[in-house]
Amino acid sequence: MKRQVQTSFMTTNPTTNSSLLLQVRDLRTSFRTAEGSIAAVNGVSFDVHHGETLGLVGESGCGKSVTALSIMRLVPNPPGIIESGEVIFEGVDLLKIPSKEMPSIRGAGIGMIFQEPMSSLNPVLTIGRQITEPLGVHLGLNGTAAENRAAELLEMVGIADSRRRLKDHPHQLSGGQRQRVMIAIALSCEPKLLIADEATTALDVTIQAQILELMKNLTTQLGTALLIITHNLGIIARYADRLNVMYAGKIRESGTAEQVYLRPGHPYTVGLLNSVPRLDRPATERLDPIEGEIPDPANLPTGCAFRPRCRWATEQCETTEPILQQVEDRQMVACFESKTVSDSVGVAFQ
């Protein structure tokens, strides 16, 4: 495991340290259940640079949301516990500071948007109250100044008639508008990093497009780094500079969007790309899905966790767990057969 940390440190950090905003190192978060301890995040390391957009993709249960919650130290405890690792945000390890200092990081340093805007907003408080609250806490803005700033923020996220809207309650807004309010709150204190955890998954496609464009434009304007967590490969392809593909608690492949989509090196990435019907290709008769199902996290296969579903698996995969290794400048794959995999499918994806 030590080796994995070192390699990823060297390769995902080609630029100078000054552009580094967040370093996640060997993060392990587990949940205590009746069947014992389950490692939801099992040694995840990645970097986020200032102003970049990073994608984190994977299917349900792969640990992508728990990774985000661990960064924010919002993992519910019990049953969850951050076992080990480092989350270094602007030089400070967030896992080592006292928990009473975390609120000043959340909001002012790292903003977060969740999937369900209705349950993220307080139903009994006005929109205005919910936007002005962080302004008071983090920026010391109160009274009229806070209200003016809140109205500005609502306008920034494209809500018309913002003065009047400040007096509305969440139920008076549509799903898309609620998510706009969430973005306004998340960006209100101009955080350095915005984490969007399936932020548009529950929305209709046309609204999804509105919100994604808005999020991307605002973060570009403000120079905010964006961590997009989603299962939707298309969203990442459009918005992210780099991405990490997660499976069963670990990053299995990382690289630039071009590398991972056009020349994937991990069989799981290939399987994901083959599973989705695509509008950029002629309609096909049949899809080529990944066989089988996601393994039980309490009872992971030996060796590579993807082995039972993998068409390239060898004996080695059963006994030894592959670690992330560099296959190209900026691209890393945790697979013994990555060369064979990308050679055999690479052309088809371009």
Q: By the criterion CB under 8 A, which residues form the site for other proteins?
A: 59-60, 174, 176-177, 204-210, 213, 231-238, 257-258, 261-262, 271-291, 293-294, 349
Supply the minimum distance, in Å, between the C-beta of residue 198 and other proteins: 13
Number of Cβ atoms within 10 Å of the Cβ of 34 = 6
Nearer to other proteins, 94 or 182 (CB): 182
Nearer to other proteins, 134 or 176 (CB): 176
Handedness of CA 175, 230, 299, 307 (dihedral sign): positive
Minimal distance, residue 274 CB to other proteins, in Å: 8
Shortest CB 49 distance to other proteins, Å: 18
User: Minimum distance from CB of 51 to other proteins (Å)?
Assistant: 17
If DSSP codes are grouped into helix, strand and coil, which group holds residue 199? coil
Closest CB to other proteins among 2 and 281? 281
Is residue 89 packed enough to be buried (19+ CB in 10 Å), middle (13-18) or exposed (0-12)?
Answer: buried
CB 185 within 8 A of CB 106: no
Question: Cβ of residue 276: shortest distance to other proteins, in angstroms?
Answer: 5
Please, which residue, 9 or 261, has the CB nearer to other proteins? Answer: 261
Least distance between other proteins and beta carbon 186 (Å):
21
Which residue, 24 or 272, has its beta carbon nearer to other proteins? 272
State the virtual CA torsion across 72, 75, 76, 81 in degrees, nearest 10: -130
Question: Which tokens sit at 112?
Answer: 């977060």
What is the separation, in whole angstroms, between the first and last Cα of the chain? 34
| Nearer to other proteins among residue 159 and residue 332 (C-beta) | 159
- Which residues are paired to 112 by β-bridges? 195
What secondary structure does DSSP assign to 130-170, as a single string?
HHHHHHHHHH---HHHHHHHHHHHHHHTT-SSHHHHTT--G
Whether the Cβ atoms of residue 268 and residue 317 lie closer than 8 Å to each other: no
